[in-house]
Structures are given as C-alpha cells and as structure tokens.
Structure 1
Amino acid sequence: MKGAIVFCLLAVATIAVARPEDKYTDRYDNTNVQEIIDNDKLFEAYVKCVLEKGKCTADGKELKSHITDALENDCSKCTDPQKDGVRLVIKHLVNKEPAIWEELCAKYDPKKVYASKYEKELKEVTA
C-alpha cells in the first residue's frame, strides 16, 4: 500500500501554519510531492499520520491540522505550489489508491461535499 492530503492530503508536507497575510506558510513549498508519492514507505507514513494510525512528523502534524480548513475553503490559504501539490496527491489517490482515498474521505469529508468535486475533476478517463 502506498502510504499523503490529501488529502490534500493533501500537498502532503506543504500545508502548514497561517502567515499574517492569511496564507499557510511556504516553508514546505519546495517539497518534491511526486517523490513522496513515489516512495511507498514515506507516502504510507503520511497517510497513517493524517488518519491517526501512526506517528506524525512535525510537518505531518501541520498538514493534518489544516486539512479540514483547506477543504472547506477550496485551499484559499494555500500558495500556488501547495495547490499544485494538493491536486497531484488527490489525483494519485483517486486514480491509484481508491481505498486510501475513501478512508480519507470518511474521516475528513464523510458527506463527500468537497471530495466529489475533486473526483470529477481529477479522475482519469480510461477507455
């Protein structure tokens, strides 16, 4: 299982503390989100963190603390690299890790108010 933020996982390690201009910190903007997704062990650790099934690093705790706010506000406090990271992670989850995606949705968006938007937008069409 690939072990991420999401939702938005969701830009995995990119969402963190709010800055004075009402944006999350850009401290993690240079994080290579694709590298995290491609590393099964690392990705799994982030997933376990945000699902409260494992230990969290400091950046994992920051990510987890902002998932709900980012979902409810369409990532309005996210920087552009964070928004790109969120989309990358969600696209990966929706298309490659549906069981993890469903588990994250059950925890952070049980009514799928926000998740359905991402699913429609990021689901790869297979024909």
Structure 2
Amino acid sequence: MFCLEFFHFFQIKYALVLCCVAAVSVAQSQRPPVSDTALDDALQDKRFIQRQLKCALGEGPCDPIGKRLKTLAPLVLRGACPQCTPQETKQIQRTLSYVQRNYPQQWAKIVRQYAG
C-alpha cells in the first residue's frame, strides 16, 4: 500500500513540475526550449505561478498556458511525456522543489486533488 501511495505521489509531483515548465513555454505543440533564465523569471513571478496553480486546482480561470497544463497532466500521471526533452525533465525536477518549498498549501491541495 505504501509503495502504491508513493508511486502516485511521485506521479503527481512530476505532473505539477511538467505543468510549470509548460507554463513558461509557448503553448504550442512545437515549442522552443525554455532557458534556465526564463524558468527562473517565471518561478519568481508569484502572480504567474499562483494563477497557474489556481487553474490546475480548478479555482480560477485558465489562460492558454493553463489549458496546456491540463492537457499534459493526464499524460504525466500515466508516467509518459513524449513531448518532454531531457532539459525539460531537469527543469521539471527543479520546479517541483520550488513549488513544494514556496507553495506548500497549494501543493497539498494538488496532491489531494490528483491522488484522490
């Protein structure tokens, strides 16, 4: 049971990170790579991050980036992201750590929403 819960928790973390990385990229199927500098800028923009988190939680409207987030989330939860490059994977891990540290309440809601 613990292993299954841990696996679901890992998938949820991966989904959120992917969503944040997607949020800083162009909302197109062929998107240019996101630089580490652009990711830093996006992570420091509290209004932007909160807007994307509210979208992911269904607590607010979604912009095109938020809509893309919701499209990618099911793929990530299944453990497959064919669109993700190695750079995006690295950025996803970094974003995950940031959201867990800086937005713990929203993170807990996301875990509850997607794990339940």
| TM, length-normalised to structure 1 | 0.63
Runs of 4 or more, structure 1, over 4 Å off, are: 14-17
CA–CA distance in 2 between the matches of 1:54 and 1:84?
28
User: What do the CA deviations read for 1:48-82 (whole angstroms, capped 9, x no partner)?
Assistant: 11111111111220111111211321545412232
Instruction: For 1:59-78, list aligned pairs within 5 A.
Output: 59-73=65-79, 75-78=81-84
Q: CA RMSD in A?
A: 2.5
CA pair 99-37 structure 1, distance change in 2 beyond 3 A: same
Selected match of 1:9 from 15, 19, 22 = 19
1:107-122 superposed matches below 5 A: 107-110=113-116
Aligned residue among 29, 34, 38 for 1:30: 34
Over residues 84-113 of structure 1, what are the superposed CA-to-partner deviations in whole Å (9 max), with x where a residue is unaligned?
232122111222222111111112233xxx
Which runs of 5 or more structure 1 residues have no equivalent in the other structure? Answer: 18-24, 111-127
Considering Cα pairs closer than 8 Å and 6+ residues apart, tell me whether 1 or 2 has the greater RCO.
2
2:19 and 2:72 in contact (8 A); partners too: no
Does structure 2 conserve the Cα–Cα contact (< 8 Å) formed by 1:10 and 1:85?
no
TM-score by length of 2: 0.68
- The separation in 2 between residues aligned to 1:27 and 1:46, in whole angstroms, is 18
Residue ranges of structure 2 left out of the alignment (5+ in a row):
1-14
Counterpart in 2 of 1:85?
Answer: 91
Aligned residues: 99
